């Protein structure tokens, strides 16, 4: 009994209404319970995302040679300002990130419209167009290196067959065409993804609006321009921003197909970071960490700016 | 009760002894990463050395993996920092950062260094200690297709060395006949595109000034250098290289030379044999291929027509923080014998930094080896390739400019020289 009364005495204050007047929600889990559920995700996030990010920023203030590290402050960042190759990589990455998503989204939208319009073999084409999304970058890169091969690639063979042999060239070996060739390859891989998203969005459009347009004798082109595309705008912008973020980090395809060459024409910030970290006869991770830190800031800033621009009229979700 | 307790104790004791005996019999396992997964002769040589070692040293077991070179470097760079690198791994002297970072164990206390060729030791020597077992050595050679060269109307002289203009004539005649004069591609390697140019520069400048060029104390704007580069640019414009030069991989350039479509010449280090002497079904050279070896062309007023690059390539090193150094050292010591040097030369048909006894070498490619020796007779060697001298930005510029853009005809002589000077010239 004594124990019971002691327990009652202990629990009594908890049952009182707080001075603030708020009543505690019995459905609300206590902190220990919350922690039990949050801990696994938190541990993974802290260990695999937060710590590496913070450590990268910290390392950027050092020069690391073998097991020794020496503090250099902002020297790595100062060196970065005068690093010609870094600025070439920045230019290439920006070109890729701002221009290529337009190609990606436009191609995806066109394919989706073709399916929506009921082209022959639509079921087959839907699968065929989506298949590249399922392929790894390695497979895609090798496939397109064959396609671009000077001697027997499909592109040059096609040109020769069409009597345009003078246009045949080493697409990946020419600084004037290498970046464009990679962008086309990337667009080919991701067009299917954009197509599926656009197709779902088109099917979700309110049918009464489309029917009203048809009743008003609105032609296919006018309906597309004045009804479908404006209504798809939030989806298209979401796809653009998603593609933009992906392309700011592009690495695999470039590394396999050109290694950043020729003459740094396809060097991206990611390939340059990798080269500086692993291909420069040095163990120094300080300078590559500085590049990675700067680029992390640039990507975040660019996404915020794009959000601001697009957010005025459309809500972005990604 | 007491008897039962004694019995249990005895059983426990016997189990402990048995476990102890098992532990004593358990060999120490070391890990070894080797390059050459796609070169059967070298792969078999390494595997055989490991088998021999394990048979003679029951207390050691070797977990041997064959991994492409680039992957070894990338993985090892992470692994050495975290203490997880293999006990023994493949390395070449153009990766000096492992030595500079203190990650390599000196072999002096583990390997009988008298079994290594004296000329090969400097490639791995630092502060008086030797850090690598120089298994693979090579010279840079100019292979050619005897029949095709004859077919385009060029006679290789008895010295096996064309003049500067003679080689340009060969290129022009090959291009006119629709035969690629020089099989070469830089799709997956940072050096092949520079072979012809830099071997020509060596012959023009001689070892001393060529060394200065590679050390960054001689400018690429030196008139002699510009003269050779201008001559080389003429070859490029005459169509010396395949149109697919930028994307053609090393293995493909082999196939291009001796299978399809065929080419007149193929500048390549003498490790050429690793791929060429594989079976034709595996992409090797056909048995009846009319292979010849000529000298790189003699430059006009060249300081050293007989000069040639000699270098150490595939080597094995020990990880300084390895936990099983006794077994790792014993493995490397067991590889460094004259008999193993002989086997390397016999099987791989390639030079080695291990001592060997030419009298005992019995190779199925004896004719090839005789020709290789003949082309090296009286040669003045320069030790090391450009990438063994160039570092960081300079190495990257060499890869992009001299290996790729310049031989691909993408940039001119002065632009190439400017880029090299700004990246490599000391004090620039």
**How distant is the Cα of A148 from the closest Cα of chain B, in angstroms?**
9
**Test the A interface: residue of B250, B396, B423 with most A CBs within 10 Å:** B396
**How distant is the Cα of A83 from the closest Cα of chain B, in angstroms?**
10
pTM for this one? Answer: 0.81
Chain-chain contact of B246 with A151 (C-beta, under 8 angstroms): no
CA B168 and chain centroid, separation = 28
Q: What is the pLDDT of residue A284?
A: 86
* B138-166: b (≥16 Cβ within 10 Å) or e: bbbbbbbbeebbeebebebeeeebbbbee
Element (H, E) at B331: helix B325-335
Q: What is the pLDDT of residue A66?
A: 67
CB contact, 8 Å: A130 with chain B? Answer: no
Helix A178-203 crosses helix A229-248 at what angle (to 10 degrees)? Answer: 140
- Higher per-residue confidence, A254 vs B4: A254
Q: What is the pLDDT of residue B70?
A: 85
Mean pLDDT, range B136-164, rounded to an integer? 96
Q: Which of B74, B261, B405 sits opposite A263 (nearest CB)?
A: B405
Chain-chain contact of A148 with B100 (C-beta, under 8 angstroms): no
Chain-chain contact of B101 with A66 (C-beta, under 8 angstroms): yes
Q: What is the pLDDT of residue B347?
A: 87
Q: What is the pLDDT of residue B64?
A: 97
- Higher per-residue confidence, B223 vs A242: B223
Is residue B17's pLDDT more than 50?
Answer: no
C-beta contacts of B320-325 below 8 A and 24+ residues apart: B320/B102, B320/B103, B320/B104, B320/B105, B321/B80, B321/B83, B321/B85, B321/B103, B322/B30, B322/B85, B322/B86, B322/B87, B322/B88, B322/B105, B323/B87, B324/B28, B324/B29, B324/B30, B324/B60, B324/B87, B325/B87, B325/B105, B325/B110
Is residue B7's pLDDT more than 70?
Answer: no
Other Cβ atoms within 10 Å of B338 Cβ, number: 13
Provide CB contacts within 8 A for A286, sequence distance 6+: A59, A60, A61, A62, A63, A64, A69, A72, A76
**How distant is the Cα of A266 from the closest Cα of chain B, in angstroms?**
12
Q: Which of A148, A149, A262 sits opposite B404 (nearest CB)?
A: A262
Inter-chain contacts counted by CB atoms under 8 A, chains A and B: 83
Q: What is the pLDDT of residue B349?
A: 83
- Higher per-residue confidence, B207 vs B17: B207
Chain A residues in contact with B411 by the CB 8 A cut-off are 263
CB contact, 8 Å: A85 with chain B? Answer: yes
Short-list A300, A254, A233, CA closest to A100: A254
Q: Using one digit for the tens of pLDDT, what is the confidence trace for B321-349?
A: 999 999 999 999 999 999 999 999 888 88
Chain-chain contact of A170 with B103 (C-beta, under 8 angstroms): no
Radius of gyration of chain A (CA): 27
Of the listed ranges B332-336, B367-371, B422-426, the one predicted with least confidence: B367-371
Is residue B236's pLDDT more than 90?
Answer: yes
CB contact, 8 Å: A148 with chain B? Answer: yes
Q: How far apart are CA B167 and CA B305, in angstroms?
A: 14
ipTM: 0.77
φ and ψ of B180, to 5 deg: -60, 125
Mean pLDDT, range B264-273, rounded to an integer? 94
Q: What is the pLDDT of residue B2?
A: 47
Q: Which of A66, A174, A279 sits opposite B100 (nearest CB)?
A: A66
* B98-124: b (≥16 Cβ within 10 Å) or e: bbebebbbbbeebbebebbbeebeebb
Q: What is the pLDDT of residue B12?
A: 47
CB contact, 8 Å: A131 with chain B? Answer: no
Chain-chain contact of A173 with B81 (C-beta, under 8 angstroms): no
Q: Which of B247, B392, B399 sits opposite A172 (nearest CB)?
A: B247
List chain A pLDDT tens, one digit each, 318 residues. 344 444 444 444 444 555 555 556 767 778 888 889 999 999 999 999 999 999 999 999 999 876 678 999 999 999 999 999 999 999 999 999 999 999 999 999 999 999 988 889 988 999 999 999 999 999 999 999 999 998 889 999 999 999 998 999 999 999 999 999 999 999 999 999 999 999 999 999 888 888 888 888 888 888 888 888 899 988 998 899 889 988 998 999 999 999 998 999 999 999 999 999 888 878 888 999 999 999 999 999 988 888 887 765 555 454
Is residue B182's pLDDT more than 70?
Answer: yes
φ and ψ of B123, to 5 deg: -60, -25
Is residue B261's pLDDT more than 60?
Answer: yes
pLDDT band of residue B74 (cuts 50, 70, 90) is confident
**How distant is the Cα of A281 from the closest Cα of chain B, in angstroms?**
5
């Amino acid at each position: 009994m004594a124990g019971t009364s002691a327990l009652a005495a202990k629990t009594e204050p908890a049952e009182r209404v707080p001075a603030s007047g708020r009543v505690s929600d019995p459905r609300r889990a206590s902190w220990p319970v919350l922690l039990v559920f949050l801990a696994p995700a938190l541990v993974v996030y802290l260990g695999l995302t937060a710590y590496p990010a913070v450590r990268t920023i910290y390392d950027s203030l050092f020069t690391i040679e073998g097991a020794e590290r020496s503090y250099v402050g902002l020297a790595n960042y100062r060196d970065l300002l005068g690093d010609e190759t870094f600025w070439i990589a920045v230019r290439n990455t920006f070109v890729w990130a701002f221009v290529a998503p337009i190609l990606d989204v436009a191609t995806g939208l066109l394919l989706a419209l073709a399916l929506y319009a009921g082209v022959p073999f639509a079921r087959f084409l839907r699968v065929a167009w989506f298949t590249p999304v399922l392929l790894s970058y390695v497979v895609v890169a090798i496939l397109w290196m064959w396609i671009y091969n000077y001697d027997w690639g499909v592109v040059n063979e096609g040109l020769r067959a069409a009597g345009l042999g003078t246009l045949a060239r080493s697409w990946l070996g020419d600084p004037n065409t290498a970046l464009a060739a990679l962008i086309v390859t990337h667009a080919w891989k991701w067009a299917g993804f954009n197509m599926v998203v656009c197709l779902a969005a088109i099917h979700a459009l309110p049918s009464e609006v489309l029917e009203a347009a048809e009743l008003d004798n609105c032609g296919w082109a006018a309906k597309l321009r004045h009804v479908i595309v404006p209504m798809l705008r939030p989806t298209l912008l979401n796809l653009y921003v998603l593609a933009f973020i992906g392309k700011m980090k592009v690495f695999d395809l470039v590394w396999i197909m050109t290694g950043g060459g020729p003459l740094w024409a396809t060097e991206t910030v990611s390939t340059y970071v990798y080269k500086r970290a692993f291909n420069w006869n040095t163990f120094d991770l300080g300078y590559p960490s500085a590049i990675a830190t700067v680029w992390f800031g640039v990507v975040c800033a660019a996404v915020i700016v794009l959000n601001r621009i697009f957010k005025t009229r459309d809500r972005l979700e990604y | 009760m007491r008897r039962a307790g004694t019995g249990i104790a005895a059983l426990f004791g016997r189990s402990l002894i048995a476990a102890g005996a098992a532990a004593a019999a358990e060999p120490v396992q070391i890990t070894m990463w080797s390059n050459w997964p796609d070169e059967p002769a070298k792969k078999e040589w390494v595997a055989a050395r490991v088998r021999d070692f394990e048979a003679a040293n029951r207390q050691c077991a070797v977990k041997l993996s064959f991994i492409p070179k680039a992957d070894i470097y990338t993985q090892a760079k992470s692994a050495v920092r975290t203490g997880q690198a293999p006990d023994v791994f493949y390395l070449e002297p153009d990766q000096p950062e492992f030595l500079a970072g203190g990650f390599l164990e000196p072999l002096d206390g583990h390997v009988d260094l008298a079994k290594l060729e004296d000329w090969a030791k400097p490639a791995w020597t630092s502060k008086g200690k030797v850090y690598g077992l120089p298994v693979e050595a090579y010279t840079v050679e100019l292979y050619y297709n005897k029949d095709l060269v004859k077919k385009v109307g060029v006679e290789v002289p008895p010295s096996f060395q064309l003049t500067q203009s003679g080689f340009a004539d060969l290129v022009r005649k090959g291009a006119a006949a629709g035969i690629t004069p020089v099989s070469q591609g830089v799709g997956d390697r940072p050096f092949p595109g520079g072979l012809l140019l830099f071997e020509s520069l060596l012959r023009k400048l001689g070892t001393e000034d060529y060394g200065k060029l590679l050390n960054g104390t001689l400018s690429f704007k030196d008139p002699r250098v510009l003269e050779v580069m201008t001559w080389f640019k003429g070859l490029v414009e005459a169509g010396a290289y395949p149109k697919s030069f930028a994307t053609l991989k090393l293995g493909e350039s082999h196939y291009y030379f001796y299978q399809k479509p065929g080419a007149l010449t193929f500048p390549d280090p003498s490790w050429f044999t690793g791929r060429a002497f594989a079976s034709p079904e595996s992409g090797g050279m056909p048995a009846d291929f009319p292979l010849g070896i000529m000298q790189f062309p003699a430059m006009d007023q060249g300081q050293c027509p007989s000069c040639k690059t000699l270098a150490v390539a595939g080597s094995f090193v020990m990880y300084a923080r390895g936990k099983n150094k006794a077994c790792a050292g014993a493995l490397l010591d067991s590889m460094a014998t004259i008999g193993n040097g002989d086997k390397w030369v016999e099987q791989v048909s390639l030079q080695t930094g291990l001592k060997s006894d030419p009298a005992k070498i019995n190779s199925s490619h004896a004719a090839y080896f005789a020709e290789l020796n003949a082309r090296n007779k009286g040669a003045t060697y320069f030790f090391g390739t450009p990438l063994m001298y160039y570092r960081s930005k300079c190495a990257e510029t060499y890869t992009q400019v001299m290996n790729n853009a310049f031989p691909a005809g993408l940039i001119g002589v002065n632009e190439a020289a400017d880029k090299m000077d700004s990246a490599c010239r000391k004090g620039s």
